[in-house]
Amino acid sequence: MAKFPMTPQGQRALREELKRLREVERPKNVLDIEEARAHGDLKENAEYHAAKERQGFIEGRSRDIESILAQAEVIDPTKLSGTKVVFGATVKLTDADSGDEVTYMVVGDHEADIKAGRISISAPLARAIIGRERGESVTLKTGKGTREYEISDVRFG
């Protein structure tokens, strides 16, 4: 079974989601199904069908999370150090053309959130900067053309 990297925060978020699905969403859904069933004819009962569909989503997502957690290799960025960009590094990049700076943490696929500054280790930008050091430049082909970034800072924790 292939392992994939995940930060402790990502693992915690998935465990919290799984707990919420099991302890809040599932019991609420059971009540919704019972209530909809009490309305009579199930063939034309939209609430019943919606509740059953939600039940399928809850069960499927729960299984997905359990599988993800079972295959995760948790890596704590606070225990890492060095000058190279690796999983868990927080990297400040400077756009060579505009001078704009962005900061991203390289995280696992299941915890990536670009708006929160977390990019997936399998994202093209992350793949381009992995193994590089501060001061190095990387060129990335995007839908808008070619972008060049300089790695301004690499830190952990």
Q: Which pLDDT score is estimated for 152?
A: 94
* Boundaries of every domain in the chain: 4-74, 77-155
Provide the CATH topology of domain 77-155: Chitinase A; domain 3 (3.10.50)
CATH code reported for the domain at 4-74: 1.10.287.180
Handedness of CA 103, 13, 1, 114 (dihedral sign): negative
Dist CA 47 CA 37 (whole Å): 9
pLDDT value at position 43? 77
Are 4-74 and 77-155 the same fold in CATH? no
- Residue 2 binned pLDDT confidence (cut-offs 50, 70, 90): confident
SS3 content of the chain, % helix, strand, coil (to 5): 45, 25, 25
For the segment 56-62, the average pLDDT, to the nearest whole number, is 97
| Maximum mean pLDDT: which of 19-33, 35-49, 72-86, 132-146 | 19-33
Sign of CA pseudo-dihedral 99, 105, 111, 115: negative
Q: Render pLDDT for 85-136 as a digit per residue (tens, 0 to 9).
A: 999 999 999 998 888 999 999 999 999 999 999 999 999 999 999 999 999 9
What pLDDT score does 25 carry? 97
